[in-house]
């Protein structure tokens, strides 16, 4: 293999970690690229990549007056979302991956992937992308290197991670001290859905992804590293890698409490991360600070509290539904320097998607003249990639190397019935059970059946890199002497009335619930003890300027004992799916609450 090395720059890369050099050489021998480029993350390099993609038509300029330095990428119509059924966790023993993951033996997985990678980069450039997940100087951060043949991936990784020379320097420093980095190998291959796999080797800190150029399948720092590999790494190192937003709530006294929250898809995660307070709260001096909208890494600090960082540097957000009404901060973030993927465009070449406004687009996400008979103009999973720093509510502590202290952890799903607006777990063990049992009801549009309940523990079902039973045990292990753990809450913004309409207004008014949580953390709010946890009554929350029906006041702030009895029977059956590894403490907690509900 005689690949040329092109740096797009004149300065020397300096010394490189021996292990990294050896791996790059090994991959180059297998994939046989025409050129090798070590990415430094510079503006000059990015401009060259953008020119290259514009020249080959893979990146299209958008309206420079309305969206300066913004671009549209159209992926293959067969490559538009994560492929969970083709995503594997490869551990020596299948039970270590657990029933929550697709499993393949490591030797078999390596052989399958290496056969696909053989010669796949002929005629292409191999990009070496060093990156850091988390603030570059944070002890909570972890580094990786992605090798890819996609300049689109490079451009996105530059936004989503701390990518380039600084990350490479940290990898070198840690390598000298015996530290390891996550190795991710990616190729778009032929974009053939029948030759598409994503393999994770947690014990080797390795990811191999072939056949997709899209999102979490290709940006290996995101779900693959920051959740699947990191969750395994966190278990061995004593921290947590979670599918959670991090938001700071500043009260009129100037105190800021940080909340981490886990929600499955379509449950308002990004909206909560970028929440804008209701008018009365804004006038009173409340502020909301965005740390992150998707992933949270937490580690116990010297004072016993959990401290969190957002390992990402950008947002890879779903475009449809994002509007001035639903999330004005997100919309303001993407007015410039943004990569849009699979959105539609208007007559004057502005990005457009369903839910944005009343305009009619000119071309759909596949570049065709828009015709409603072809379906939505923007793909339902179309995305925007943008730096978190462009968010108007971006927190000045987002780059804090030590992270921010977490006062509360929130779990929540989409439940049209049964589950009240908010309740607080009795203690840490109960809170872990609440997270383990959380779930959402599906809709007809998604599955063809309405109201099907799917358990999604801690919103990690697609992302936990090992057996859920061991994951629950890891969560329980943080309850030790001297620990000052966050209170755990559960919310449900989606309770419906008899008329099928939502009972709670949601969006900015969710701050009313967060205020109650903070008061509970500080010991300043009352609650009613029930078998399922501590509930506020309607008079405990600040409902000023809200008009709630009598039905809403009952269903949002109380619980149906008979319905919860059936729910806990279902929770017991769910825990049983994980067999003997399920922590006894969780089984005991489920039985304790079930007995109270039966009484």
Residue 444 pLDDT: 36
Q: What's the pTM?
A: 0.96
Is 123 annotated to bind a ligand? Reply is no
Residue 143 falls in the annotated catalytic set? no
pLDDT tens, per residue, the chain with 599 residues: 445 554 333 333 446 689 999 999 999 999 999 999 999 999 999 999 999 999 999 999 999 999 999 999 999 999 998 888 999 999 999 999 999 999 999 999 999 999 999 999 999 999 999 999 999 999 999 999 999 999 999 999 999 999 999 999 999 999 888 889 999 999 999 999 999 999 999 999 999 999 999 989 999 999 999 999 999 999 999 999 999 999 999 999 999 999 999 998 778 899 999 999 999 999 999 999 999 999 999 999 999 999 999 999 999 999 999 999 999 999 999 999 999 999 999 999 999 999 999 999 999 999 999 999 999 999 999 999 999 999 999 999 999 999 999 999 999 999 999 999 999 999 999 999 999 999 888 643 343 455 678 899 999 999 999 999 999 999 999 999 999 999 999 999 999 999 999 999 999 999 999 999 999 999 999 999 999 999 998 889 999 999 999 999 999 999 999 999 999 999 999 999 999 999 999 999 999 999 999 98
Pick the CATH number of 4-62+77-238 from 3.40.449.10, 3.30.420.40, 3.40.50.300, 3.60.15.10: 3.40.449.10
Mind listing the pLDDT tens digit for each residue in 339-397? 999 999 999 999 999 999 999 999 999 999 999 999 999 999 999 999 999 999 999 99
214 marked as binding residue: yes
Task: Determine the Cα–Cα distance for residues 381 and 447; give it in Å rounded to an integer.
Answer: 16
- Residue 344 pairs in a beta bridge with 352
Find out whether 238 is annotated in a ligand binding site: no
Q: Which DSSP symbol is given to 400?
A: -
The pLDDT of residue 81: 84
267 is in an annotated binding site: yes
Q: Which long-range contacts (CB under 8 A, 24 or more apart) does 204-211 make?
A: 204/106, 205/180, 205/181, 205/229, 205/233, 206/182, 207/182, 207/183, 208/109, 208/110, 208/113, 208/117, 208/184, 209/184, 209/185, 210/113, 210/116, 210/117, 210/120, 210/186, 211/116, 211/187
Q: What pLDDT score was predicted for residue 11? A: 35
Q: Which pLDDT value is given to residue 446?
A: 40
**For domain 242-312+396-598, is the CATH number 3.40.50.300?**
no
For domain 314-390, the question of CATH label 3.30.930.10 is answered with no
DSSP state of 66: T
Q: Could you say which DSSP state residue 502 is in?
A: B
Burial 3-21 (b: 16+ CB within 10 A, else e): beeeebeeeeeeebbeebe
User: At which residue do the structure tokens 């780059």 appear?
Assistant: 399
Alpha carbons 208 and 186: distance in angstroms, whole number: 6
Q: Where are the domains of the chain?
A: 4-62+77-238, 242-312+396-598, 314-390
CB atoms inside a 10 Å sphere around CB 121: 27
Residue 587 marked ligand-binding: no
90, 143, 224, 267: which one is catalytic? 267
Nearest CA-CA partner of 106 in 86, 118, 89? 89
Question: Is 224 annotated in some ligand binding site?
Answer: no
Sequence-ordered strand ranges (E) for 30-154: 35-38, 60-61, 71-73, 87-89, 102-103, 125-133, 142-148
pLDDT in tens, 388-447: 999 999 999 999 999 999 999 999 999 999 999 999 999 999 999 999 999 888 643 343
- What is the model's pLDDT at position 451? 64
Q: Would you state the pLDDT for residue 110?
A: 98
467 is in an annotated binding site: no
pLDDT at position 82, please? Answer: 83
- Was 507 annotated as part of a binding site? yes
For residue 326, CA distances in Å to 166, 322, 359, 455, 506 come to 36, 6, 17, 27, 10
Q: Is 508 annotated as a binding residue?
A: yes
R_g of the chain computed on alpha carbons:
24
303 is known to lie in a ligand binding site: no
């Amino acid at each position: 293999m005689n690949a040329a090395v092109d740096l797009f720059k004149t300065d020397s890369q300096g010394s490189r970690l021996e292990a990294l050099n050896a791996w790059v050489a090994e991959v180059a021998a297998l994939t046989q690229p025409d050129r090798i480029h070590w990415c430094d993350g510079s503006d000059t390099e990015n401009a060259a990549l953008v020119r290259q993609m514009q020249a080959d038509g893979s990146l299209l300029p958008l309206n420079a007056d309305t969206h300066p330095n913004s671009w549209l990428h159209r992926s293959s119509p067969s490559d538009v979302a994560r492929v969970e059924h083709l995503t594997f966790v490869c551990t020596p023993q299948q039970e270590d991956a657990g029933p929550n993951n697709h499993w393949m033996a490591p030797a078999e997985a390596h052989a399958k992937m290496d056969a696909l990678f053989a010669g796949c980069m002929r005629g292409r450039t191999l990009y070496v992308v060093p990156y850091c997940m988390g603030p570059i100087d944070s002890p909570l951060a972890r580094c990786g290197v992605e090798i890819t043949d996609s300049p689109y991936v490079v451009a996105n990784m530059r936004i989503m991670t701390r990518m380039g020379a600084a990350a490479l320097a940290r990898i070198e420093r840690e390598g000298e001290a015996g530290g390891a980095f996550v190795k991710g190998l990616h190729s778009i291959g032929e974009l053939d859905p029948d030759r598409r796999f994503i393999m994770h080797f947690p014990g080797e800190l390795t990811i191999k992804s072939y056949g997709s150029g899209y999102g979490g399948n290709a940006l290996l720092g995101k779900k693959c590293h920051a959740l699947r590999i990191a969750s395994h790494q966190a278990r061995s190192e004593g921290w947590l890698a979670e599918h959670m937003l991090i938001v700071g709530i500043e009260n009129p006294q100037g105190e800021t409490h940080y909340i981490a929250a886990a929600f499955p898809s379509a449950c308002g995660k990004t909206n909560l991360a970028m929440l804008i307070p209701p008018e009365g709260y804004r006038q009173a001096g409340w502020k909301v600070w965005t740390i992150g909208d998707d992933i949270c890494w937490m580690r116990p600090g010297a004072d016993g509290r959990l401290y969190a960082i957002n390992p990402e540097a950008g947002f890879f957000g779903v475009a449809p539904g994002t509007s001035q009404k639903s999330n004005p901060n997100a919309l303001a973030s993407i007015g410039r320097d943004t990569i849009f993927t699979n959105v539609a465009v208007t007559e004057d070449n502005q990005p457009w998607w369903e839910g944005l406004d009343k305009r009619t687009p000119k071309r759909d996400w596949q570049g065709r003249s828009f015709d409603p008979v072809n379906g939505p103009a923007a793909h339902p999973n179309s995305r925007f990639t943008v730096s978190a720093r462009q968010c108007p509510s971006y927190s000045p502590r987002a780059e804090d190397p030590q992270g921010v202290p977490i006062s509360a952890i929130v779990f929540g799903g989409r439940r049209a019935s049964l589950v009240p607006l908010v309740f607080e777990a009795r203690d840490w063990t109960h809170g872990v059970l609440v997270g383990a049992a959380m779930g959402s009801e599906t809709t007809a549009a998604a599955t063809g059946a309405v109201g099907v309940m799917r358990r999604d523990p801690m919103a990690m079902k697609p992302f936990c890199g090992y057996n859920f039973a061991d994951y629950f045990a890891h969560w329980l292990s943080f309850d030790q002497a001297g620990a000052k753990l966050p209170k755990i809450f559960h919310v449900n913004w989606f309770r419906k009335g008899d008329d099928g309409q939502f009972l709670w207004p949601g969006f900015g008014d969710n701050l009313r619930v967060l205020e109650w949580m903070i008061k509970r953390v500080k010991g300043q709010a009352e609650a009613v003890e029930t078998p399922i946890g501590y509930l506020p009554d309607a008079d405990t929350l600040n409902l000023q300027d809200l008009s709630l029906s009598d039905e809403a006041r009952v269903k949002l702030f109380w619980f149906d004992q008979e319905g919860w009895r059936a729910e806990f029977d279902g929770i017991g059956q769910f825990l049983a799916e994980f067999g003997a590894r399920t922590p006894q403490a969780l089984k005991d907690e489920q039985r304790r609450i079930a007995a109270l509900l039966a009484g």
